Amino acid sequence: MKTWSILGVLTLLFATVAFGQAVERTHDIVPEDYFSQVFLTDCAVSPDGEMTAFVDYRWDKVNDRRSQDLWMVDNETMATTRLTFDPGNEVSPQWSPDNEWVYFLGHISHGGDMTKAPYDGSSQVWRINPDGNGLMPVTSVPGGIYGYELSADGETLYYTLAKEISVGEWQDMRATYANVTYAEGTNEVCELWKLNLMTWRADKVFAPDLHIHEFSVSPNEQKVAMITTESGELIELEGWSNVTIYDVATGDSYDLYDQLWRDDAPSPHGWLGEPTWNDSGNKLAFTVDFDGYPAEVIVSDFTERAANLMRMPRPEMVHVAGHIHWLPDRDDEIAFVGHNLARQRVYSVELATGNYKTLTNGDVVIDNFGFAGDGEDLVAIQSTLTYYQDLVYYDGNKSTRITKLNPQVDSWKLPQIKLVEWEGANGDMVSGILELPPDYEPGQKLPLHLTLHGGPTVAEPYCFQLWIYGRASFAAKGWAMLSPNYRGSLGYGDEFLTGLIGHENDWDVQDIMAGVDYLIEEGIVDEDKMGVSGWSNGGFLTNALIASNRFKAASTGAGVLDMTMQLVMEDTPGHVVNFMQSLPWENPEAYIHGSPIFTFHDGIKTAVLIHVGENDPRVPAAHSIGLHRMLKHYLGVNSELIIYPGAGHNLTKYTHRLAKAKWDHAWFDKYVLGK
């Protein structure tokens, strides 16, 4: 097997804390440290570029949850101010054009009558001054609102509210026998309203009997672009959504011609999102995401009477992650976060020429960003090899880290993080993130924890992460941890991405196992001490590797066992149709080949720990229950099933995440290390 050299390495004994003070790294990372971290979910830069509002979320052990709060940082002095303290979530910050107010979506339950809106904890729009004073409700809608947007001039607030309507020909029967649950018969639809912030008068703008998932108002307020479906059901977004344009002057609405993301797309199951107008209001950009295929940015030009549609040219080897923005005062250039070789950077593309620029260079992972002022300066939520998620100000080629939200990390003994490559299926090169203990010396042979990312249409990032799925915490205990970006991962070219179509439970497995063999050949891994884990698609792949008996132990979370069962039960079944390229009765062999259950056999020895949320709609718990039954009762395999009460596809409780991490460590210690 051909092997390639290690591309990068990080070994740090000292770091900088408080933007200058050196601290020795003395702390050995433990799973509980995960809950000490502050994470970032959103940021919004003030129009003058001087301040950035951001949303942080942190774990609350007492209330067994995590909550999101609004904060402010001065981009020059780096001074931070906490704006909200309510136990409910405060999200989606937007600035007034005069820099005087930050609007946000809040769930606040104090300061007034907590039995009525807006103080009843329902979702309402609030605003606050950047110094933390002047908190006041903006909307007071019974039941709460769905989404909102402030007009370009700051004088009008647009918002949507949801309601249920009865549909179909069996309404009378359903009403008569209402003591049972029906799969259909009601649709959640939305109304679009506007609130004049001078007169405080609210008026209904548009009530189409459609669900409005997202909307964007043109700067001149002449058009509203909406992502709509017939109901609020998630499956409706998979090929049944539309870009609906509402013309304010005429009161008419129409759907954009969908050929680019239906007939001319590699899959009819595209997800529409992120409608965004340019500053002139004559061009609309939006994204189309596909499972298994590259996401696209579509642009509709309204300069002429009829809208003209085009695909944004993509830089080679870059896949769109989203977070699209038109460059300030430029009507022909779009910026977005893109995946490239395990990094995520901000790129911009000129529509007319296809020329592109990289706005955030280096080994960085960007999760979101916003432009500062009217140029190309920007503030990004960024991670690197030494920290996870802080705000960084980019001024041309110069970048300045303006927050340090997790100073405790500077005393942690960080893993050595390396990029490795090997030859995978069909001779193609595959890349992965390798974590080694802080004190690792060449020649040491370590136990391996192979961790597999979900998606699969995502990528494992090249940055520091302390995560409940094992990153950092296993290296701290003396393990090697490999996180492969196997076939179907983003950022390695279209052919590598789409190559997984029709080859799940095949080429991806070959890619992964070739990476394991590479580490064994390099003398890094002890092949007699190996474990594998993953969640969602990573759980599916873990299930696919159980029967190989290459691993002493496995931890599988929310993993598919049978593709036919997944198609008929999950809330986003377009994923299965895309990868199987058919429906079960059209090609049953494809569904059998893609299902791990058909690889099981007598003689399986891998000890399997199974995690799943009780109410998981994405990979229903029936898969995990069935897996446990097959292993324990029919094959006699050491297996433990953990069902997290009330949980969905992701674990959102403190106690659930801690249990998952501690179980994984205990399970691998016993069945891999023999402790």
* DSSP letter string, 36-71: G--EEEEEEE-TTSSEEEEEEEEEETTTTEEEEEEE
pLDDT in tens, 260-315: 999 999 998 999 999 999 999 999 999 999 999 999 999 999 987 666 899 999 99
- pLDDT attached to residue 88: 82
Q: pTM for the full model?
A: 0.94
pLDDT in tens, 605-657: 999 999 999 999 999 999 999 999 999 999 999 999 999 999 999 999 999 99
Q: What is the DSSP letter of 404?
A: -
- Amino acid 657 reads R
- Examine the pLDDT at 18 and tell me if it is beyond 60: no
Give exposure, 572-595, as e/b (b: 16+ Cβ within 10 Å): ebbbbbbbbeeebeeeeebbebbb
Average pLDDT over residues 425-440: 97
- pLDDT attached to residue 305: 60
By mean pLDDT, which of 19-23, 372-376, 536-540 is the weakest?
19-23
Strand order in the sheet with 416-423: 416-423, 429-436, 480-485, 446-452, 525-535, 553-557, 607-613, 639-644
518 Rama class: left (phi>0) / alpha (psi -120 to 50) / beta: alpha
Residue 629: give its domain's CATH number: 3.40.50.1820
* Residue 440 burial (CB count, 10 A): 17
Per the structure, the complete domain to which residue 451 belongs is given by: 410-671
- pLDDT attached to residue 19: 52
Element (H, E) at 97: none
- Per cent of the chain over pLDDT 90 is 92
Do residues 434 and 482 lie in contact, with contact meaning Cβ atoms separated by under 8 Å?
A: yes
- pLDDT attached to residue 2: 33
Residue 372 lies inside a defined structural domain of this protein:
no
- Examine the pLDDT at 9 and tell me if it is beyond 90: no
Residue 650 lies inside a defined structural domain of this protein:
yes
- Examine the pLDDT at 21 and tell me if it is beyond 80: no
- Examine the pLDDT at 56 and tell me if it is beyond 70: yes
* Residue 180 burial (CB count, 10 A): 6
What's the CA angle centered on 641, arms 639 and 644, to 5 degrees? 160
Token code pair at residue 65? 């949850």
Give the count of domains, the chain: 1
- pLDDT attached to residue 114: 85
pLDDT in tens, 323-338: 999 999 999 999 999 9
- Examine the pLDDT at 7 and tell me if it is beyond 70: no
pLDDT in tens, 194-207: 999 999 999 999 99
Instruction: Let me know how many helices (H) and strands (E) the chain has, helices first.
Output: 9, 37
Strand order in the sheet with 242-247: 147-150, 156-166, 186-196, 202-217, 223-229, 242-247, 253-255
Average pLDDT value for the chain? 94
Model confidence band, residue 455 (pLDDT cutoffs 50, 70, 90): very high
What are residue 575's phi and psi, to 5 degrees? Answer: -55, -50
Model confidence band, residue 87 (pLDDT cutoffs 50, 70, 90): confident
Instruction: Please give the residue that has the higher pLDDT: either 252 or 9.
Output: 252
Residue 567 lies inside a defined structural domain of this protein:
yes
- Examine the pLDDT at 13 and tell me if it is beyond 80: no
- pLDDT attached to residue 304: 74
Residue 658 lies inside a defined structural domain of this protein:
yes
- Examine the pLDDT at 46 and tell me if it is beyond 50: yes
- Amino acid 553 reads A
- Examine the pLDDT at 4 and tell me if it is beyond 80: no
Residue 195 lies inside a defined structural domain of this protein:
no
CA-closest candidate to residue 1, choices 518, 538, 579 = 518
85 SS3 class: coil
- Examine the pLDDT at 12 and tell me if it is beyond 60: no
Residue 147 lies inside a defined structural domain of this protein:
no
| Torsion sign over Cα 571, 149, 81, 25 | positive
Residue 600 lies inside a defined structural domain of this protein:
yes
**What's the N-to-C CA distance of the chain in angstroms?**
34
Q: Are strands 429-436 and 480-485 parallel, antiparallel or unpaired?
A: antiparallel
Q: Which residues contact 17 (CB under 8 A, 6 or more apart)?
A: 23, 404, 407, 410, 411
Residue 554 lies inside a defined structural domain of this protein:
yes
Average pLDDT over residues 143-169: 95
Average pLDDT over residues 244-264: 94
